[in-house]
Amino acid sequence: MKRLLVANRGEIAVRILRAARELGIETVAVFSEADQGALHTRIADSCQLLGPAEASESYLSIPKILEACARSNADAVHPGYGFLSENSDFAEAVISTGLHWVGPSPESMRLMGDKVTARQAVEARGVQLPPATEGRSTSELIDSAQQVGFPLLVKAAAGGGGKGMRLLRDPDELETAIEEARRIAESAFGNDTVYLERYLENCRHIEIQILADTHQNILHLGERECSIQRRHQKLVEESPSVALDEDLRDRMGAAAIQVARAANYVGAGTVEFLLDEQGQFYFLEMNTRIQVEHPVTEMITGIDLVGWQVRIARGESLDLVQDEIVPRGHAIECRLYAEDAATGFIPSPGRITVLRTPQGPGVRFDSGILENSDVPMHYDPILAKLIVWGPDRESARQRCLAALSETIILGVSTTTPFLQDVLKHPEFIAGRTTTDFIPNHLTPWIQSSEKDQLLAVAIAAATETWKRSSGTSSPSGEAQSVPSPWDRLGHWRLDEENR
């Protein structure tokens, strides 16, 4: 493997490009017309334009990505997450062209990509599942709903991200919900198959990271708790979970390995479970790709998951055994989205006019953005991920809050103040987090840290004005580090209560 093409954009493309560079592999970035000059295009060794901004004409076009591979003489493809990362047809096309595919086999992807067939394979391995029905027609689903029991979820068999999923408590709404889910699933995944699954209340969302090589070695790297979700999209992840003791951790890890064996899995993958109040866990699904929240595991294990994806794809054997994987400390990740949480998380595309990122021990900021870069309206609005490490959960929480307060992104609305309120909530501090946390505690949400945000904006804006007026911009247009009037305030600060 000499030249790796990353078939993605944003922060995950940046992450993969850096991992490949550390392994001595040349890199190729692809981009749409909306992403010209984006960060991932600047750090790659070479770039290939795919086409217009619409994802269907660029990042979702298999022919255009294969053409980019041919033009750039790439001999490997990494799909990242999202877009084509779980598309078995894409994996098959890459492999049939003679290129290295950094991911599991198309057969494994198909098996686990269909939640119905995945349930069947996992059940055969003795892993516990929530009650569900696999009836295919609408009438069959309605007839079997009482057997599943209410409340229940109408779920799309393909895809993820909560698309085509609906929670139902009223049987009278079932037929309408099934038809609506079918339409959404067909539009999003090209597959209108849906099924019904019992909704388990007051549960935690626990996932287990696994690594599997081509030499029959499979390891689990502990858990991540991903219970802080909004509409089935994760916002805050952490590891380890306060809900797991060593015995439960070992049992969930062993179950995850059984799932991986059921799929003949190779590469990095994630097995997701629901954990109820009685300590019983149930298989939810398997993600056959790198996860957005993978840095949480990297921070507590010291294992480069993306690097190992590439190393496994070129035939290397895992150089660890299970007993050598000993998590250390606690890690928390917050996803920063270009969304306005105060208005129902409406997307906020635009130009980033000021970007200040947090620094310090135990702080990692995985980003795909630059100052004066545009946030397109065409793609997922994730801007960056803030990941922190601490020797224990409370120190990690405090460090995360401090890092969020140092994060300044102007020009677009972000979820930063919402994330601060999540981490400050007494239930989060106590570790009482379930998948209902946000609807139970932060819906509706009213920004409680407005003064701090306005002060951050004022400081950033004044600093930029000072730099421009002082003529301290570099030839590239980037402001140089110079003293600002705010550096000369000494101990004086703006304070609304004590001015």
161 and 256 housed in the same domain = no
Report pLDDT for 447. 84
* 109 part of a folded domain: no
DSSP one-letter string for 276-308: -TTS-EEEEEEE-S--TTHHHHHHHH---HHHH
Q: Work out whether strand 152-156 and strand 194-198 pair parallel, antiparallel, or are unpaired.
A: antiparallel
Distance CA 191, CA 163 (A): 12
86 and 171 housed in the same domain = no
Say if residue 79 is preceded by a cis peptide, omega within 30 of 0: no
444 and 456 housed in the same domain = no
Top pLDDT among 485 and 137 is at 137
Q: What angle do CA 200, 206, 212 make, to 5 degrees?
A: 130
> Helix or strand or coil: residue 183?
helix
Report pLDDT for 162. 75
**pTM, to two decimals:** 0.88
39 and 90 housed in the same domain = yes
Report pLDDT for 479. 45
277 and 324 housed in the same domain = yes
Q: Point out the least confidently predicted range of 73-82, 143-152, 399-408.
A: 143-152
DSSP one-letter string for 44-79: SSEEEEEESSSGGGTTT-HHHHHHHHHHHT--EEE-
87 and 217 housed in the same domain = no
List residues with catalytic annotation: 289
Report pLDDT for 496. 47
Q: What contacts 286, CB < 8 A, 6 or more positions away? A: 112, 118, 259, 260, 263, 265, 269, 270, 271, 272
* 118 part of a folded domain: no
454 has a pLDDT exceeding 60? no
291 and 213 housed in the same domain = yes
Confidence band, pLDDT 50/70/90 cuts, at residue 472: low
Query: What is the number of structural domains in the chain?
Result: 4
Report pLDDT for 75. 98
Distance CA 289, CA 272 (A): 13
* 138 part of a folded domain: yes
499 has a pLDDT exceeding 50? no
314 and 303 housed in the same domain = yes
- Taking residues 54-61, report their average pLDDT: 96
- Dihedral sign, CA of 196, 263, 235, 280? positive
**Residue 243: which region, alpha, beta or left (left: phi > 0; alpha: psi -120 to 50)?**
alpha
Report pLDDT for 466. 58
Taking alpha carbons only, the member of 79, 80, 75, 78 closest to residue 98 is: 75
Look up the CATH number of the domain holding residue 144: 3.30.1490.20
Report pLDDT for 488. 46
Dump pLDDT digits (tens) for 99-112: 999 999 999 999 99
- Taking residues 78-96, report their average pLDDT: 97
Helix axes 62-72, 88-96, angle to 10 degrees: 30
- Taking residues 179-202, report their average pLDDT: 89
3-state helix vs strand vs coil in the chain, percent to 5? 35, 25, 40
298 and 336 housed in the same domain = yes
Q: What contacts 246, CB < 8 A, 6 or more positions away? A: none
177 and 273 housed in the same domain = no
Dump pLDDT digits (tens) for 337-348: 999 999 999 999
Q: Which of 177, 198, 219 is the last residue of a domain?
A: 198
* 61 part of a folded domain: yes
* 125 part of a folded domain: no
Distance CA 166, CA 174 (A): 10
Report pLDDT for 490. 47
Place of tokens 């400050």: 424
* 119 part of a folded domain: no
Place of tokens 């954009």: 9
431 has a pLDDT exceeding 80? yes
Q: Point out the least confidently predicted range of 35-44, 200-209, 478-487.
A: 478-487
Distance CA 78, CA 13 (A): 9
Q: What is the mean pLDDT of the chain?
A: 91
213 and 284 housed in the same domain = yes
Look up the CATH number of the domain holding residue 216: 3.30.470.20
- Taking residues 425-434, report their average pLDDT: 98
Q: Which of 169, 198, 227 is the last residue of a domain?
A: 198
Confidence band, pLDDT 50/70/90 cuts, at residue 477: very low
76 has a pLDDT exceeding 90? yes
Give exposure, 316-329, as e/b (b: 16+ Cβ within 10 Å): eebeeeeeebebeb
Dump pLDDT digits (tens) for 253-288: 999 999 999 999 999 999 999 999 999 999 999 999
Report pLDDT for 116. 87
Taking alpha carbons only, the member of 211, 227, 316 closest to residue 271 is: 211
* 124 part of a folded domain: no
* 367 part of a folded domain: yes
Residue 365 is part of which domain span?
Answer: 204-450
353 and 222 housed in the same domain = yes
Dump pLDDT digits (tens) for 120-172: 999 999 999 999 987 678 999 999 998 999 999 999 888 766 778 889 999 99
Report pLDDT for 58. 97
Report pLDDT for 232. 84
